Structure 1
Amino acid sequence: MRLDKYLKVARILKRRTVSKDLADHQRVLINGKTAKPASEVNVGDLITVIFGQRQLTVRVTETAQYTRKEDAASMYEVVEEKRVELE
């Protein structure tokens, strides 16, 4: 599954265009490497999203093309959430 679609379907970000913009600006990492919007996401991957002064790292537990709002949180588990200082 594409990274931008996964972030939207899992409801980590609200819109796919926001996911794409963050990835285009090198603010999304998959397993510690900068990711593009079309990067492939697989179960077990660690995704780090940096937005504003917040950094969220999640582990992918499931990839589904569609999900209900109630089930979206089961697609990932939060590994780390922290504030980061801007340079």
Structure 2
Amino acid sequence: MRLDKFLKVARVIKRRTLAKEVCDSGHATVNGRVAKAGLEVKPGDRVELNFGSRKVIFEILEIKETIPAKEADRLYKILE
């Protein structure tokens, strides 16, 4: 699954267009490498997002095309 789509499905970022902008502006890394929106992610990948002064680091646990909002946090585990 594409990184921008995962961020939207997992409800880390509300809109896919915003997720794409965050990725393409260089504020996202996957496994320590700068990631573009089209990067294919898989379970076990470590994602780091920089939102200004705030940094979110999480590990992808599961990939699903759709999931209810209440269960979206099961797709990843926040590390920092």
Q: CA deviation at 1:53?
A: 1.0
Q: Which has the larger radius of gyration?
A: 1
Number of corresponding residues: 80
Residue 76 of structure 1 is matched in structure 2 by: 76
Residue 16 of structure 1 is matched in structure 2 by: 16
Q: Give 4+ residue runs of structure 1 displaced > 6 Å after superposition.
A: none
Q: CA deviation at 1:3?
A: 0.2
Residue 50 of structure 2 is matched in structure 1 by: 50
Residue 32 of structure 1 is matched in structure 2 by: 32
TM-score, length-scaled by structure 1: 0.90
Residue 6 of structure 1 is matched in structure 2 by: 6
Identity of aligned residues (%): 39
TM-score, length-scaled by structure 2: 0.98
Q: CA deviation at 1:52?
A: 1.9
Which residues of structure 1 form unaligned runs of 5+? 81-87
RMSD over aligned CA atoms reads: 0.5
